[in-house]
Structure 1
Amino acid sequence: MHAIILFAHGSRDPLWHKPIQAVAERILQRSPRTVVKCAYLELTEPALPQVASDLVADGATSLCVVPLFLGVGRHAREDLPELIRLLKIDHPSIEITCQPAVGEQSRLLDLLADIALGHSIDEEGQMLESKI
């Protein structure tokens, strides 16, 4: 079983995690058989090591961590690679990969630019009209 872990910073604000969970829900809408869980670096539970352990206990044979960071600061450059290294030590028989932070992905940057310009996008990702 392959599983996706959406990884975000975390916050003391109990509503902060709602967009992260919304991404997980959209993944499930598009791919109902996909196993997807959310994990956080700090201030919000569950933590990445716990989510990985739970998924492995449930039968996951591969994990893909998707860092939901717009900026590629210390957490993405230093903390996350160390967490991935430790996960690989804790679960040596599991394939563990980590995507680049979403803020490094050109498709997201293009979408953010379109949003800022007031462009509407249809279901196929085609630009409709500008509101500006």
Structure 2
Amino acid sequence: MTENERSIRDLYAAIESGATGDELRRFWHPDAEQVEYPSVMRPHGHRRGLDEMIAGSELGLTMIRDQRYDVHTVVEQGDEMAVQLTWTATVARDLGTLAAGTPLVSHVAAFYVFRDGLVLRQSSYDCYEPIAG
């Protein structure tokens, strides 16, 4: 396993354990950017920098619980990586039409660019299974 793959797997483990703030910041390059392409949860997609990602991790803890990342495939070339995974979580509190306790499942293709051993860019395509509710 390469250092970049170990870093991504450690990042997923940190998120699963509820890490926020500097515990997450250590994985990201200071110029990091995250891009989510349109999905059922973000119909218009979303783009954010590192500070917004860190703030989002803290907000996320109030919205979902039991996050899990099941990595299926990792393909790496130089400082670029593609990861196929299944993300699961449970809605922690009522969110609009989603009731607390609703399970969420998304099949994800995530693409990473590294600089200086840190994640510079993450872009993801999240394909959600039908959501009960």
What is the TM-score with the length of structure 1 in the denominator? 0.25
Q: Which has the larger radius of gyration?
A: 1
What is the TM-score with the length of structure 2 in the denominator? 0.25
